[in-house]
Amino acid sequence: MRILQPDIPHILFLFSDTGGGHRSASEAIIEALDLEFPNRMTYEMVDLFREYAPPPLNMAPEIYPPLSRMPSAWGFGFRQTNNPRRIRNINNMAWPYIRRSIYRLVEEHPCDLIVSVHPLMNTPVLRTFKRRKYPFITVVTDMVSTHAAWFDNRADLIIVPTETARQNGIKFGIPEEKLTVVGLPVADRFCRKEKDPLDIRKELGWPHEIPVILLVGGGEGMGPLEKTAYAINKARLEVALAVITGRNRDMKKRMEQFSWNVPVSIYGFVRNMPEFMQAANVLVTKAGPGTISEACISGLPIILYNKMPGQEDGNVDYVVNEGAGIWAPEPDQVVATLRSWLSAPELRWQVASACRRIARPQAAREIARILANHVGITKPEQV
């Protein structure tokens, strides 16, 4: 059992590596806490599924990648369960099996505040509190199509990234005073422009004289990433490609062995995405909320070529309606959009401007200030 330090608040973050950027959101908030309130509190991250859930739920992080490659099944499951009554029934059925694990979590991790960044952790943990024990805040990491599982009325506060997400919370029965729109937390490096893009290109070995198209398929290299890259190559556009295959090693190997017509850099899982986005000219990506938020902060025009049905449908509508990008689900549509933007650069600049308009670069720091306030810490006045 963790022993709390006297007079130093401790925050427990609940997450799991099951997509959706749950880990990166937690890390971004912790980074912001360190920047805003250095040495004023402590915190820890617990993967509730991997560390506490009974079998087979403890395998959720391993099950997620293959499941995410079955979009039809994923979309069906999302739509069928996206209802407060059905979520209650699911939790009631699961409760006898998981309750000991949840009680053990609460006993072994005493804290001053619990922050959940995963939709499936809210109701089980809140249910353990027969009497109010710890303040509980939910940080929603889906951008627009927010599932009913995110919204439990027993939470003290639910932080959402968009107004549409707030309206979803109201629809699911959450009082307006418990909902606040802040944005999606991203790492501070996306918010700072410390290097010239041309210097970054030089470090990465990218060409200086032609636009660079950044292709991303999420951490698992999902979607038609490979087909899209080959289509751009076949079109012989005046561009260079930077392709991130994530953890998909087989794809990376195949693409490295391919004969390319354009300059290409192939990467696996990377940790310097802020530099990649700052140096690129266009982003081609699936409609993940974290990647969209990071691109908007970077002012990087977006072509969305894939989505998770149900969960990411709203992300596509949001990006397109705000003018921050294009929906192009087929490789030839991606090529056509790139050709249009290359022949008329002002179109690309308009999209980049829209990205910056909807960006929320201070979201992580705003969330940090909210959390600090809940544990009794306020930012010292500037002298």
- At residue 3 the predicted structure's pLDDT band, cuts being 50, 70 and 90, is low
> Is residue 1 domain-resident?
no
> Is residue 4 domain-resident?
no
What pLDDT digit, counting tens, does each position of 309-359 carry?
A: 999 999 999 999 999 999 999 999 999 999 999 999 999 999 999 999 999
Rounded Cα–Cα distance for residues 23 and 48 (Å): 12
Q: Are residues 109 and 158 in the same domain?
A: yes
Q: Residue 382: is its pLDDT beyond 60?
A: no
Q: Residue 383: is its pLDDT beyond 70?
A: no
The DSSP annotation for 68-127 comes to: HT-HHHHHHHHHHH-SHHHHHHHHHHHHHHHHHHHHHHHHH---SEEEE-SGGGHHHHHH
What pLDDT digit, counting tens, does each position of 116-138 carry?
A: 999 999 999 999 886 667 899 99
> Is residue 134 domain-resident?
yes
Q: Are residues 93 and 216 in the same domain?
A: no
How confident is the model at residue 130, as a pLDDT? Answer: 64
Element (H, E) at 372: helix 363-374
- % of the chain surpassing 90 pLDDT: 83
Both structure tokens of 291: 């990647």
What is the domain count for the chain? 2
Q: Are residues 72 and 16 in the same domain?
A: yes
Mean pLDDT in residue range 77-85? 94
- Contact partners, residue 35, CB within 8 Å, separation at least 6: 188, 365, 368
Q: Are residues 172 and 144 in the same domain?
A: yes
What pLDDT digit, counting tens, does each position of 30-71 carry?
A: 999 999 999 999 999 999 999 999 999 888 888 887 887 788
Q: Are residues 272 and 297 in the same domain?
A: yes
Q: Residue 258: is its pLDDT beyond 60?
A: yes
Rounded Cα–Cα distance for residues 32 and 372 (Å): 11
Q: Are residues 353 and 212 in the same domain?
A: yes
Rounded Cα–Cα distance for residues 300 and 333 (Å): 19
Q: Are residues 173 and 58 in the same domain?
A: yes
> Is residue 224 domain-resident?
yes
How confident is the model at residue 219, as a pLDDT? Answer: 60
Task: Assess contact for 115 and 25: CB atoms under 8 A.
Answer: no
> Quick one: which of 91, 330, 79, 349 has its CA closest to 211?
349
Rounded Cα–Cα distance for residues 149 and 296 (Å): 27
Rounded Cα–Cα distance for residues 176 and 169 (Å): 8
How confident is the model at residue 193, as a pLDDT? Answer: 83
Q: Are residues 268 and 367 in the same domain?
A: no
> Quick one: which of 296, 379, 381, 362 has its CA closest to 38?
379
How confident is the model at residue 367, as a pLDDT? Answer: 98
Q: Are residues 369 and 306 in the same domain?
A: no
Mean pLDDT in residue range 264-270? 94
Q: Are residues 327 and 296 in the same domain?
A: yes
Q: Residue 255: is its pLDDT beyond 60?
A: yes
pTM reported for the whole predicted model: 0.93
Q: By residue range, what is the domain housing residue 288?
A: 189-358
> Is residue 143 domain-resident?
yes
> Is residue 201 domain-resident?
yes
Q: Residue 237: is its pLDDT beyond 90?
A: yes
β-pairing verdict for 302-306 and 264-267:
unpaired
Q: Residue 86: is its pLDDT beyond 70?
A: yes
> Is residue 169 domain-resident?
yes
Q: What is the CATH number of the domain that holds 243?
A: 3.40.50.2000
> Is residue 2 domain-resident?
no
Output 73 or 284, whichever has higher pLDDT.
284
Q: Are residues 57 and 155 in the same domain?
A: yes
Q: Are residues 287 and 322 in the same domain?
A: yes
Q: How many CB atoms lie within 10 A of CB 170?
A: 13
How confident is the model at residue 206, as a pLDDT? Answer: 97
